[in-house]
Amino acid sequence: MASTGTVTEQTTIPSWGGRYEIIGLLGRGGTAEVFEATDRLLGRRIAVKVLREGTTPDPQAVAQFRREARAAASLNHPKIVTVHDVGMDGERPFIVMELVHGEPLSELLDREVRLTFGRAAAIAQAIAEGLACAHQAGIVHRDLKPKNVMLTANGLVKVLDFGIAQALDRTPVDEPLGTAEYLSPEQATGLPLDGRSDVYSLGVVLYEMLAGRPPFTGERALAVMHQHVYDDPPPLAEFRPDVPAPLRSIVDRCLRKQPGARFRDARALALELRRFQSVGPEATDPLPPTRVTDSLEADRPEDPRGTDHSPRARMIGAWAVAGLALVMAGAGLLIPLMTRHPPVAQARPEILRPAMALQVRGACGGFFKARASLAWRASTSRIADGYLVYRSRTPNGPYQTIGIVPGRAAIRYVDERLDVNATYYYRVRATSGSRLSAFSGPARAETPFFCL
């Protein structure tokens, strides 16, 4: 029977009959804590990650945690932190994993801001090798970021939380915290994921190691998610002009919007990063294309009837080629005189019309908090697929994207957790893929003077 030992005043984790002896707290996130502990049965130091008390994930997340954490426990790769055990403490999932002494990549970037080309490529290659192992086992990380990459004291790179980060550290999409800066476009829009989603996230991490910042940032997660889906990342040259062309090309390919345009898997990315380092991290010329070593001619079957190579056959063949060339030349002169191609009419794209009649009303939204309810008339364009909502404190801006509303028929949005006794201005744009309509509005909302 499992017993529970108190670790702090706020947190308890299972001790399983005294098997795990807690030594101290290693770190604390928004919903989870990590402790250093001793496995008395095996006599080794381990790390235990557990949800903080009072934080309970939904049943679907718990079921996903159980499936994927057990799969992650089967992974065995030097670039992946080993998961030793998984379990539940009541309703709270926890994991027991390898204890790694070092620092997260996020702390290194906080200290050094930007890394050398060779070091950034080497770290990215190590991460890609770990991802390749996980992808081969059918596990997608889904939360790859500098905080989940450990750099050990002896120079090794270890990736944390394969397949379990999402279950343990779930962040609401309307919060400024979380990992929106590293989401792939398909993850931001709720589409099915495969390993190429992690390739995109690794491209964001590599971009940050080189530029000193992620490609997309913002105060709200939804605004950052919209950038991942619709906007092109700022060129690396804007932040670091001397990045070698081969390394820029690798980053650009990782950050393609369509998964099929990226590296086909993490292994292919790791090989390309290794190739870049082999020609020298300071190389400026593009990498040569991969050579094809197998001859195409070798795969061509021989004519079972044989081939006549006699002088007479060669002479006949030469005259035949010359005659054919004359015929083709004559035809080339006649065809333009005989054929009149009518001009091709260029199809005009359908106009993307904006939403109309934008109205906003301020109301109380909680204790000393307000909200604004927006309503508009839907775009009349059939190609419209949703709306972007913008907000500003002044009528002339600047306006910041605060929400994505999918569906042409959607006509409402609620902006929560606003200040009381304040004035806000809103505008709306219809979307169609990467196209944006003209603005609707602005419309003004006055929040109540006092809310309880």
pLDDT tens readout for residues 397-443:
888 888 888 888 889 999 988 998 999 999 999 988 767 888 988 99
Using DSSP's 3-state secondary structure scheme, residue 403 falls into strand
Residue 183 has pLDDT above 80, yes or no: yes
Per-residue model confidence (pLDDT) at position 195: 92
CB-count exposure of residue 117 (10 Å: 0-12, 13-18, 19+):
buried
Active-site option among 39, 85, 89, 143? 143
Number of H helices, E strands in the chain: 10, 18
Using DSSP's 3-state secondary structure scheme, residue 112 falls into helix
Residue 3 has pLDDT above 80, yes or no: no
Residues near 398 by Cβ (< 8 Å), separated by ≥ 6? 392
Name the average pLDDT for the chain.
Answer: 78
Residue 298 has pLDDT above 50, yes or no: no
Q: Which residue(s) pair with 210 in the sheet?
A: none
Per-residue model confidence (pLDDT) at position 28: 78
Per-domain boundaries in the chain: 4-98, 102-278, 356-446
Per-residue model confidence (pLDDT) at position 392: 92
Is 2 in contact with 10 (CB distance < 8 Å)?
A: no
* CATH architecture entry for 4-98: 2-Layer Sandwich (3.30)
What is the share, in percent, of the chain residues with pLDDT greater than 90?
A: 39
Per-residue model confidence (pLDDT) at position 29: 67
Say whether pTM exceeds 0.85: no
Q: Examine the residue annotation and report whether 58 is marked as an active-site residue of this protein.
A: no
Residue 308 has pLDDT above 90, yes or no: no
Tell me the C-alpha distance between 374 and 426, whole Å.
8
Fold of 356-446: Immunoglobulin-like (2.60.40)
Is 212 in contact with 112 (CB distance < 8 Å)?
A: no
pLDDT band at 332 (very low <50, low <70, confident <90, very high): very low
Residue 327 has pLDDT above 60, yes or no: no
- What is the four-CA torsion angle of 181, 185, 191, 195, rounded to 10 degrees? -80
pLDDT tens readout for residues 357-374:
999 999 998 888 899 999
Classify the phi-psi angles of 441: left when phi > 0, otherwise alpha if psi is within -120 to 50, otherwise beta: left
Lowest mean pLDDT among 126-130, 182-186, 311-315, 363-367: 311-315
Fold of 102-278: Transferase(Phosphotransferase); domain 1 (1.10.510)
Residue 296 has pLDDT above 90, yes or no: no
Most trustworthy range by pLDDT among 6-15, 96-105, 219-228, 309-318: 96-105
pLDDT tens readout for residues 45-55:
999 887 766 66
